[in-house]
Amino acid sequence: MALLLCAMLILFLLCTSHEVSGLISLSSPLSADIGQYVMKVAIGTPPQEFSLILDTGSDLTWIQCSPCPGCFNQPDPFFEPTASSTFSPVPCTNSFCRAFLEDDRSFMCNQSNTGCNYQYGYEDGSLIRGELAYDVVSLPSEDSASVALSTVIGCIHNETMPDFANADGIVGLSRGLLSLPSQFSNHSVAHVFSYCLVDILSRGSISSRITFGGEARNPAAALTPMIFVPGSDFYYVEVEGISIGGRRIGVPTSTFHPDNADLRGVYLDSGTTYSQWRTEAFTPMLAAIRQQITYQVVDAATTHALGVDLCFDVSNELESNIILPDMVVHMRNVEFEIPALPNLFRILDGYACLLMTRSTSGISLIGAAQQQNKLIVYDVENKQIGFLAAQCGTAGPQ
């Protein structure tokens, strides 16, 4: 059934897209803003430009559409569906829409409701409500010519999301059928993408690129298998252990193995700022960090007010003299190095604060802060993820 629905969707997308011959690669500027990363995306005909948050932990790409009563303020005008000649609602009767009635989303279709309306929830409890629609997404190709590809997007008319500050919505990058890389792969774009995250506090002062297609691959990247977990579209990796300050901590490898029944596993999530680790891993991590750092631990009330789990008082030290341990996530075939500054700790008002938290869901993830200054390649076609240290936003791989 799933294969039949996928084939029907692919047929529709190929028949309605602008004609594209041969394999192509696309890219877009990428920058940091208040703990998140945003890329430029143009949607519709004529194109309307938006800044969307990169989220490898979700599949749906969505924007706020006019009218949108109660929606959060955004830097760009709401998307105007009536102004796009290529906008078309996904009908409720479409088998692609109805296939998601059994998913974890809530799709609402009935005789009085002809559109594919849905309610989509996130782990933080926020909700978005809208309709699925077909329209074109335009990005520059490798020769800088803009290429428009027909995609399915979420057109939001109601939500309970927090204000995104300088972003207009989310671009879904997971392995799900609705994600942008998955849909692009139906348009002569190889199912692979890469990004290089700049310093998370750069606030748009520097930028790098996100690339879709064959140009995203880099032969110098160290490769680890992409672990597929039934029922999940996350990008899981096989973690074999953790080191703090060059010392391996005592965490059983079973803690990191994907297991649906017990919510184990570790995945990459660009849409979450700080890494989260299940208690069985996080507790020994904290113990190892405390053991290796001689600075005074900041009281819990102050630490929690800063939105983190652990801080040290370094107010009497020059930042250049502060000594903090690095961290290494040992993956199969890859040593994922997390430098103390600025990836593992951040200096805030005289405190050195750990940029990792305890997972409330039981699943562990590597967040955006720990992915800074690395080229990360998600090669779904070859079922592997690549890593390469880089100075993102400057000379080097981007």
Alpha carbons within 13 A on the beta-carbon side of 79: 33
Count the helices and strands in the chain (H runs, E runs). Answer: 5, 28
From 33, 135, 168, 269, the catalytic residue: 269
The Cβ-side half-sphere exposure at 91, using a 13 Å CA radius, reads 4
- Residue 213's closest CA among 180, 244, 247, 238? 180
Q: How many Cβ atoms are within 10 Å of 386's Cβ, its own excluded?
A: 23
DSSP string, 342-363: IIIEEEETTEEEESEEE-SSS-
Tokens of 206: 């520097």
Q: Name residue, tokens 């750092």.
A: 293
C-alpha gyration radius of the chain: 21
* Upper half-sphere CA count for residue 309 (Cβ side, 13 Å): 19
As beta bridge partners, residue 139 has 147
For residues 46 and 136, is the Cβ–Cβ distance under 8 A? no
Burial class (CB in 10 A: 0-12, 13-18, 19+), 225: middle
55 is catalytic: yes
Work out the angle at residue 336's Cα, subtended by the Cα atoms of residues 334 and 341, and round it to the nearest 5 degrees.
160
Peptide bond into 46 cis (omega under 30): yes
Query: Does the CA dihedral 172-176-181-187 come out positive or negative?
Result: negative
Angle formed at CA 151 by CA 150 and CA 152, multiple of 5 degrees? 140
Report the C-alpha gap between 390 and 196 in whole angstroms: 8
**Which residue in 33, 55, 59, 233 is the catalytic one?**
55
| Size of the chain, expressed as the number of residues it contains | 398
Active-site residues, by number, are 55, 269
